[in-house]
Structure 1
Amino acid sequence: MQHKRLSTAPMIDWSTRDYCYFARLFNPYTYLYTEMISTSAILQGDTDYQLRFYPNEHPLVLQLGGSDPDELAR
């Protein structure tokens, strides 16, 4: 039988690193999504903190939000 995938809906203030770790315990094949992170938070803030993850969160989908294509590309 093939593994069935499950996707979690990203939720502001809920799709935290701890939540993703917890969700992974329920189903190792779940697609996990980060909270929406604005490009300005990454480019002008603490990039390491914003992009930090637990190794066992993979596969993990990063959601970026922004309106400037050049910033999104960086």
Structure 2
Amino acid sequence: MIANICHNLPADFRPGSEREREQRAMESLKWHLRELEPDDRSALWVQTELDDFGYDYRPLLPQHVRDRLTQQ
């Protein structure tokens, strides 16, 4: 599960400025967040990790996923 989520990170962190690497990693993470359903184990892991960091990822999610998270 974690390997699937992190699959693109080595390429995302390839040489470049810190800002470029951060942007590439964020785009990969956004893609995963858009594709995962909120009750998926991978989605729950990502959600927990981002919550622990205090990152507000909800604006990146599709509306139907945000709605389901709000109801929890």
Which TM-score bucket, shorter chain as reference? 0.3 to 0.5
By percentage of residues, which structure has more helix? Answer: 2
By percentage of residues, which structure has more strand? Answer: 1
The structure having more radius of gyration, on CA atoms, is 1
The alignment's TM-score, normalised by the length of structure 2, stands at: 0.38
The alignment's TM-score, normalised by the length of structure 1, stands at: 0.38
Taking CA–CA contacts closer than 8 Å with sequence separation of 6 or more, which of the two structures ends up with the larger relative contact order? 1
